[in-house]
Structure 1
């Protein structure tokens, strides 16, 4: 398995960040070479499904996901219940789990913790290249979360 966690402080309220993070189509605005489409009638809540297509031409692959946990943040103040969303990845290339928490902080800020525990097919790739895949995930999702934070912070002003 390739496991990693990325953390980003966002200078915006937790409920605002949650709303942006669960707007699945917007992930393509921050993740390079990625377009996301929702494949269920409802984009929110447990059971929602969406597909992230990443890459160019014949090097692209689909990453279908289903929401298994949906708990919006309880508010924007420190001590309010954090939000948590978890998805299962069920594609031919990437399998496993991903999720994020949105934790309210003081001064109208929040912290986003993104974590993944995935296997890439063929499975022997993950077995031998797990540390490299984890590093690449931290770098890639770190950049994605920074782009999301910048976008949300500009909207909040």
Structure 2
């Protein structure tokens, strides 16, 4: 299962960065041809479920996810959300962690481990490269002032 790790520093305070990075509908707006389908009522919590639907017309795939850990940043502490992907096409897990930075603002770390159905281990480097590009772009857009 290929793993990726992306780290970005932002001048946003941890609470604002958390709000942006855990607004699942905003993720849909940050990723081309994707929209979020929220399946549980807000606010997000452990057990919340949502699906990211990507595609055009009838050519789409769903990436259903469940929040398995929800620990927002509070009073200068780090925040961590863990998601498990339950899809037929994409499986794995994702984590977004926010840590206060001594330079001001915070450091955002996005980690993904994923498996694409039908692609064996020889495709792991290609999957990792595509995921890194895809999630780096999303992280940068979500944190943009």
The answer to whether the superposition gives a TM-score over 0.5 is yes
Normalised by the length of structure 2, the TM-score is 0.93
The structure with the largest helix share of the pair is 1
Among 135, 138, 143, the residue aligned to 1:144: 138
Q: How far off its partner does 1:43 sit?
A: 4.2
Secondary structure, counterpart of 1:55 in structure 2: strand
Over 4 Å off, 4+ runs: none
- Is 2:109 the counterpart of 1:113? yes
* Residues 76-110 of structure 1: CA deviation (Å, up to 9, x unaligned): xxxx3210000100011001111110111135411
Gaps of 5+ in 2: none
Task: For 1:116 and 1:146, locate their aligned partners in 2 and report how far apart those are by CA, in whole Å.
Answer: 16
Partner in structure 2 of residue 71 of structure 1: 71
Among 125, 130, 134, the residue aligned to 1:131: 125
5 Å-filtered alignment, 1:18-97, equals: 18-75=18-75, 80-97=76-93
State the aligned residue count.
145
Query: Does 60-69 or 21-30 show the bigger shift?
Result: 21-30
Task: For 1:144 and 1:86, locate their aligned partners in 2 and report how far apart those are by CA, in whole Å.
Answer: 17
The structure with the largest strand share of the pair is 2
Partner in structure 2 of residue 4 of structure 1: 4
Normalised by the length of structure 1, the TM-score is 0.87
8 Å CA contact 1:43–1:49 kept in 2: the answer is no
Cα RMSD of the aligned pairs, angstroms, is: 1.3
Gaps of 5+ in 1: none
Task: For 2:62 and 2:43, locate their aligned partners in 1 and report how far apart those are by CA, in whole Å.
Answer: 18
